Every structure is written in C-alpha cells, then in structure tokens.
Amino acid sequence: MKLIVAIIRPEKLHDVLEALFRAEVRGLTITRAQGHGGEMERVETYRGTTVKMELVDKVRLDIGVSDPFVDVTVAALQRSARTGDVGDGKIFVLPVEKVIRIRTGEEDVGAVTPVTTG
C-alpha cells in the first residue's frame, strides 16, 4: 500500500478529479494548502503597506492506493495537473504500513476500494 500525496493548483482540481475518476481511482481526501516554490511572487498593497505574498494557494490530495495502482495514479495526476508553468506542484509517494476502513475494519486493499451507493 502507498499513500500518494500530490500538491496541485486549485484551478486544476476539477481536471485532476476527472482524470482520477477515469483512472478508476475513486477514494481520496483533499486539503486546502498553500505552497512556496519557484513561482513568481505576488505583490499586494494595503493602504501604504506593500507586501510580497510568499505563499500561493494549492490543493493537497492524499490518495491511498494499492501498489499496482501507484503508476496509473501518478500518471493520471501528472497528465491532468500539468500546465507547464512553474508552480504545477509535486507528487510524493509514501510507504504505508496498514490501511483500515473504519466502517468495516477491512484492511489494506479491501480498505481502499470504495463501495458506491450514490
């Protein structure tokens, strides 16, 4: 099992979700984040004060996948999150020792295959 952590542009979230769903990756958790990297800094002005915004809004995705799914997931992410401009973000693949589905107690692969109800 792996946990894939991707940092992407918020305006790309829509495309990324679509690409993941098409790649049959249906379980994920997102968090709003802010990033700093090589992007151009934004300058803002509040009355007399000028500030440089070092942080840019990003979205973070946490996706638990079984090992065979790692490559398709990463590929889907890379394809859909890319604009080519600096600031597209990163993908981290972390090792996971155990995944548990809270509802059933199922572990690992069983835990990350969603049961669709809708």
Q: Does 45 bind ligand ADP (CB under 6 A)?
A: no
Residues 52-71 contacting a second copy, CB under 8 A:
54-55, 58, 60, 62, 64
CA distance to 41, 57, 64, 98, per residue, from 95 (Å): 33, 27, 10, 9
Q: Report the partner that residue 68 touches, choosing among ligand ADP, another protein, a second copy, none (CB closer than 5 to 8 A by kind).
A: none
Q: How far does the chain reach from its first CA to its final CA, in angstroms?
A: 26
Q: Does 110 bind ligand ADP (CB under 6 A)?
A: no
Look at residues 76, 101, 67 and name the one whose alpha carbon lies nearest to residue 21. 76
Please, what is the minimum distance in Å from the beta carbon of residue 49 to ligand ADP? 24
> Parallel, antiparallel, or unpaired for β 49-53 and 2-8?
unpaired
Question: Two tokens at 29?
Answer: 């958790």
Residues 55-114 contacting another protein, CB under 8 A:
55, 59
Q: For 87, which DSSP code? A: T
Binds ligand ADP (CB under 6 A): choice among 13, 23, 56, 93 = 56
Tokens 């007399």 found at: 48
Alpha-carbon Rg for the chain in angstroms: 17
- Name the site residues for ligand ADP (rule: CB under 6 A): 7, 27-29, 35-39, 56, 58, 62-64, 86-90, 101, 103, 112, 114-115
- Name the site residues for another protein (rule: CB under 8 A): 10-11, 13-14, 17, 30, 32, 34, 36, 42-55, 59
